[in-house]
Structure 1
Amino acid sequence: MTASVAAHSASPTKVTTLASPSGVEAWHVESDVVPLIAVAFTFEGGSAHDPEGKPGVAQMLARLLDEGAGDFDSDTFQEHLAARAIELSFNAGNDAIGGSLKTLVKHADEAFDLLRLALVEPRFDQDAIERVRAQTIAGLRYQQNDPGVMATRRFFEEGFAGHPYSRSTSGTLESVASITRDDLVAMHRAIITRGRIKIAVVGAINAERLSAQLDKVFGALPEAKPLTIIEPAVLGNLGSRFVVDLDVPQSVIRFGMQGIAWRDPSFIPAYVLNHILGGGAFTSRLFQEVREKRGLAYSVGTSLVSYRSAAMTWGYTATKNERVGEALQVIADEMARLRQDGPSDEELQKAKDYLIGSYALGFDTSTKIAHTLVQIAFEGLGVDYIGHRNGLVGAVTQADIRAAADRVLGDGRMLTVIAGRPTGL
């Protein structure tokens, strides 16, 4: 076992990079404050790698990993988790399949055993497949009348037309109905492998014990083989508006423009810019202009979205059908003003102060720490990132903000999708 500590006095927590005897690596934070262990992990490869014509395989796979494994059928597996208050869950996104484990220290051996079974020996029993399929289809049918879901789905269809990111991670009624056990086994074999995983472990477990558990759980996974390359994509249809016709009194709006990936050197200035525009819950310009001054919407905001092969700035709001045009104009005007004039020095400083001061709040529980660390590891930002992240925020200048605004806000054109029956556009 080898270990090295990468910490900084400004870091919210001290992180050790640990490698087990068989070469399984993890980021480790040892803490005996509470007798808990939290594990977060993520495998490279997600719904973007769903088989052609069958979106939904990755998500169904994630939902089935704890539906029986090894000698345990679904009910028995869940009973073992419940008997020891072990929390185990899995999820799937565009670029990754991930999961988390939380257990009391005294039940750690059994918890890690169950995690190993779920990852290495999932059963994919037909009754479990059919149950999850039925649940997924029921959810998809319900979502057909949800304006937020329908607007989001259309946004990705138009913004990434012809690209894997255009497909819904949940799939469609037709695709989910066609998924076979062979599809699930093939994706499991391709993605749930040693060479694709990032792991973070936080809690009352020392390096020696953790090293043994890493080998037991993740050392049993097969080696990775190359995945299909997901080509880079740029958000398309900027300047276009699309309407999803739904008979609802209030329209849901999704809008977006170009973004900057987390791995990009200019991400931090873009992050500060986004906080000023729409990321600061009650202080952002959009919140003040759209909600506080005009009462057009209850909520409005923006966020940076960073995928492996694309980046965008994503926005949301909802307003009465007859006020959609007004809301969109206010949003466009505020973006143009920010792009042309930039923020005031006071506004920029307040944004930086908030982002620096609030960063430690993401490290107040072992689960939060584990998930944050595994995301940083997945992005390849380095174990020392949390130590110098606040320094990067503090160093952002007006020139940096202007450069980020040129890239993100560009000429002001947005892709806009409205789900409802807007009038006066």
Structure 2
Amino acid sequence: MNSVEANLVDTTARSANAPTLALPVAAAAGIEAWHVESPVVPMIALAFTFEGGAAQDPEGKGGVAQMLARLLDEGAGDLSSDAFQERLAARAIELSFHAGADAVGGSLKMLVKHADEAIDLLALALAKPRFDPDAIERVRAQTLAGLRYQQNDPGVMASRRFFAEAYAGHPYARPSSGTPESIAAITRDDLVAMHRKIIGRGGLKVAAVGAIDADRLADALNRAFGVLDEAGPLNAVPQTQVGQLGRRVVVDIDVPQSVLRFGMGGVPWKDPDFIPAYVLNHILGGGSFTSRLFQEVREKRGLAYSVGTSLVSHRASAMTWGYTATKNERVGEALSVIGDEIGRLISDGPSDEELQKAKDYLTGSYALGFDTSTKIAHQLVQISFEGLGMDYFARRNEMVTNVTQADIRRAGARTFADGRMLVVAAGRPTDFL
């Protein structure tokens, strides 16, 4: 671990009044980045995200945002796809893009001596992607091959059906990777329109970590992002909640073990009750070997190899989401155990000892997410994207430590409600519906 990582990690344990090492750097083009400088290793990690993702896909053309992300480095400016990739490889520059429900993002990692060329290539990829026909068809073929493969994956099929049921009629119901029909329908014009809508300065968040000072970073920001337009306007994505609670759905796949996805209400990351809900989720199913579900479902009954829950926070919705897999004939028993544990937390809450152990683990393990410059950059840009404030790293552990039983009960009432869940099983479960 280098000095910047060690210092930022130390920041997570400080009080709310402690300064964070992440400092704002503003460029002339109106772009601001969170910056952590360290000269120890001659490398720079850059992370960035643009507002607007798969939820912006046109109706009937799911997968446009994801195809856009996959095509941004497939040729740009006067460089073909092969030429662009050769320039990256010649300087060991790592550039990648990705798309989620609410954002298109990316990362850049380079040696300091190659920073100027890396920034120029990033600027080309963002401002002047070629969208050559051969590149589009290659990415389309790869996407379709992946979708065909996923049709035999119970986990993927269960997840897709869960979101389709939970958010029926909402953009979040569409799979971000699209469907065979929607991918086949995407045109170059769709990609150009999505690029114009999303890739711009208006919804941009940036973080930089490594051996670059503020002045050089400001210049890099201007060169990489200052050439972009404002982008937009984005389609409004209405607020929604997980629907069809209490319903059970089967995706028929001829396998001996059913894969389960289950979910209920949640709390957005920016909500004051998120940290209590996060601690509660750790106790229920987020705590791996120590969680209630792991102990009851796997250790005591041998119903599943893996079981867990996590909090999902999108721009327009939040939920508590869980997973497991068990033999078809034991699906009903597994769900009964999961429901019983949720019911116990609703009626009794966790014990004081459970609560303290959860808080101790969550504060003590937080530093593990900051062991590389790339991880730090992505953490910074995510916190910026969520609007949590630059001092979040200094406040986070204190907020976890201060969670009380009353906070847990309030968060539980918002997430668990009456205990009903939407459950999707991919397989041929018995004793389920």
TM-score by length of 2: 0.95
Deviations 1:266-307 (A, max 9, x none): 100000000000000110000000001111101000000000
Matches for 1:169-318 after TM superposition, within 5 Å: 169-318=176-325
The answer on whether the counterparts of 1:63 and 1:90 sit within 8 Å (CA) in structure 2 is: yes
Q: Which residue of 1 aligns with 2:4?
A: none
- Residue aligned with 1:41, SS: strand
Is 2:118 the partner of 1:132? no
Q: Which residue of 2 aligns with 1:92?
A: 99
- Residue aligned with 2:24, SS: strand
Structure 1 position 13, deviation (Å): 5.9
Q: Which residue of 2 aligns with 1:28?
A: 35
* Matched letter for residue 327 of structure 2: K
Structure 1 position 115, deviation (Å): 0.6
Structure 1 position 335, deviation (Å): 0.5
Aligned partner of 2:362 among 352, 355, 366 = 355
Q: Which residue of 1 aligns with 2:125?
A: 118
Structure 1 position 423, deviation (Å): 1.2
Structure 1 position 8, deviation (Å): 7.9
Change (3 A) 1:175 1:148: same
Is 2:90 the partner of 1:83? yes
Distance 1:286 1:106 in 2: 50
Q: Which residue of 1 aligns with 2:327?
A: 320
Structure 1 position 225, deviation (Å): 3.4
Q: Which residue of 2 aligns with 1:3?
A: none
The answer on whether the counterparts of 2:283 and 2:358 sit within 8 Å (CA) in structure 1 is: yes
Deviations 1:309-354 (A, max 9, x none): 0000000000111110100000000110111111111110110011
Superposition RMSD in Å = 1.3
Structure 1 position 182, deviation (Å): 0.2
The answer on whether the counterparts of 2:13 and 2:397 sit within 8 Å (CA) in structure 1 is: no
* Matched letter for residue 248 of structure 1: V
Runs of 4+ in 1 over 2 A off after TM superposition: 6-9
Deviations 1:55-90 (A, max 9, x none): 000000000000000111001111111111111100
The answer on whether the counterparts of 1:245 and 1:419 sit within 8 Å (CA) in structure 2 is: yes
The alignment covers a number of residue pairs equal to 420
Change (3 A) 1:297 1:182: same
- Residue aligned with 2:202, SS: helix
Is 2:391 the partner of 1:388? no
Deviations 1:72-123 (A, max 9, x none): 1001111111111111100001100000011111111111111111101100
The answer on whether the counterparts of 2:12 and 2:397 sit within 8 Å (CA) in structure 1 is: no
Structure 1 position 364, deviation (Å): 1.2
User: Once the two structures are aligned, what percentage of the paired residues are identical?
Assistant: 74
Q: Which residue of 1 aligns with 2:371?
A: 364
Q: Which residue of 2 aligns with 1:410?
A: 417
- Residue aligned with 2:290, SS: coil
Structure 1 position 52, deviation (Å): 1.2
* Matched letter for residue 250 of structure 1: Q
Aligned partner of 2:172 among 165, 168, 175 = 165
* Matched letter for residue 83 of structure 1: A
